[in-house]
Amino acid sequence: MSRIIFLFFINIIIVISACSPNTKVGEKVPEVTRPQVVAAKKVADNMSAEHFPDKVEKVEKTEDEWREILTAEEFRILREEGTERPFTGKYWDNKKAGTYYCSACDLALFESKTKFKSGTGWPSFYQPIKKAYVGEKTDNKYGWNRTEVVCGRCDGHLGHVFDDGPAPTGLRYCINGNILTFKANE
């Protein structure tokens, strides 16, 4: 029994550290404000980034309304700030060209051309389609500071962003694949 408990805690440490930044405990992550959003036209499938609107209309629902439209796993991640185990979610190894959308509100978040292999077991991107599409907030859980990323339309938890990504941004958006919908380019 003690071996099972030990292995459980080792697994938790691996999951937390795989998607953690290179910051030290107590190191301050600057507070970033959420983007202000206003009404915009519906985004067509697989449009190039320059054709996406700069601002989006906010979607607000009660927790019961979210439970009705999301799977249990999507609700756990998006509404309760959960995470999937590494190498188990959808799209962590997807190499197809297309666009990744929020499963809750269908906002286009990332294009496949910004996806890269991070080795963490989660889909990783170096930039969102538009900055306003992905909000940021400080996450002080687990004893260190991280920057949580949320959907700019529905405020659903997507994952975290770190400063150890590739050029041109140097960022790594570490995103839960089970809360994404992928639409391949035609």
- Catalytic residue ranges: 174
**What is the C-alpha separation between 124 and 131, in angstroms, rounded?**
16
Beta bridge partners of 148: 137, 160
- For 121: left if phi > 0, alpha if psi spans -120 to 50, otherwise beta; the answer is left
Q: Helix, strand or coil for residue 155?
A: coil
**What is the C-alpha separation between 178 and 79, in angstroms, rounded?**
13
CB 165 within 8 A of CB 44: no
The length of the chain is 186
Tracing tokens 């600057």 back to the chain, one arrives at: 30
**What is the C-alpha separation between 26 and 28, in angstroms, rounded?**
6
CB 145 within 8 A of CB 155: no
Give the sign of the dihedral formed by CA 116, CA 91, CA 18, CA 22.
positive
